[in-house]
Amino acid sequence: MKLYTRTGDKGKTSIIGGRVDKDDIRVEAYGTVDEVNCFVGQVMTELDEVIFKDVLADLEKIQHELFDCGGDLANISDKVAFKLEKEAIDYLEKKIDEYILEAPELERFILPGGTKPSASIHIARTVTRRAERLVVTLMKNDEKTPELALQYLNRLSDYFFALARVVNFRLNVKDVEYVRSAKVFRDGKRKDEK
């Protein structure tokens, strides 16, 4: 198998069901999802295999789902079904709820960091938010964009926030509160959430 095809040398790339410019918003969206996946892989190399056995299993699951999500965003064919399923979102919500109970109660915004893996998770979180914004832009231009991709990315960024706090907690490192933050959380949720 050859890794290079030379078919993209003029600025076009193949997607499922056609070809588009390499700077197309669709390519930006699924490319950013791929970027998230790379950061997840980096996080996995930074986590202790014993302390974070459960987390490592979840992150590998998430890596597969990110491939599904990216593939769905690259799919403009009416003949190929989307792969991402709602169960993936339900699972993230379950894990977020568990992590909120595991970590100390939070009242204020925190600074990203604490431990190396927690800092890497925060990077994954912010790149996920960028992917989410790109999918919103894509949805404005293409009504066929799967809504589940947007919902998944939205929930995944919340998952990463909760996970970053749990990682610090399990490693006995306190989160650093943003000193000028008002009290914005109650019972683990933002005050503006229902």
CATH number at residue 174: 1.20.1200.10
pLDDT of 125-153, one tens digit each? 999 999 999 999 999 988 889 999 999 99
CA atoms within 13 A on the CB side of 100: 16
Handedness of CA 22, 26, 29, 34 (dihedral sign): negative
**Pairs from 62-69 (Cβ < 8 Å, separation ≥ 24):** 62/156, 62/159, 63/37, 65/152, 66/33, 66/34, 66/36, 66/37, 66/40, 67/37, 69/30, 69/33, 69/149, 69/152, 69/153
Averaged pLDDT, 153-173: 98
Per-residue confidence band for 192, with pLDDT thresholds at 50, 70 and 90: low
Does the model's pTM come out above 0.95?
no
Residue 7 lies in a domain: no
Residue 1 lies in a domain: no
pLDDT for the residue numbered 193: 58
Domain containing 42: what range? 12-74+84-190
pLDDT of 10-65, one tens digit each? 788 988 889 888 899 999 999 999 999 999 999 999 999 999 999 999 999 999 99
Residues whose CB is less than 8 angstroms from the CB of residue 52 and which lie 6 or more positions away in sequence, other chains included:
167, 170
Averaged pLDDT, 100-124: 95
Rg (CA), the chain: 18
Residue 24 lies in a domain: yes
Residue 5 lies in a domain: no
Residue 6 lies in a domain: no
What whole-number distance in Å separates Cα of residue 45 and Cα of residue 37? 13
At 87, list the tokens.
């169960």
pLDDT of 70-98, one tens digit each? 999 999 998 999 999 999 999 999 999 99
Compute the CA torsion angle 69, 41, 55, 29 (nearest 10 deg): -20
Domain total of the chain: 1
What whole-number distance in Å separates Cα of residue 127 and Cα of residue 150? 14
b/e string for 141-177 if b means 16 or more Cβ within 10 A?
Answer: eeeebbebbbbbbbbbbbbbbbbbbbbbbbbeeebee
* CA distances, 181 to each of 118, 158, 176, 178 (Å): 20, 19, 11, 5
What whole-number distance in Å separates Cα of residue 123 and Cα of residue 119? 6
Residue 79 lies in a domain: no
Proportion of the chain above pLDDT 90, given as a percent: 74
Residue 166 reports pLDDT greater than 70:
yes
Instruction: Please check whether residue 64 is in contact with residue 145, taking contact to mean a CB–CB distance below 8 angstroms.
Output: no
pLDDT for the residue numbered 16: 85
pLDDT for the residue numbered 190: 57
One-letter amino acid of 189: K
Residue 186 lies in a domain: yes
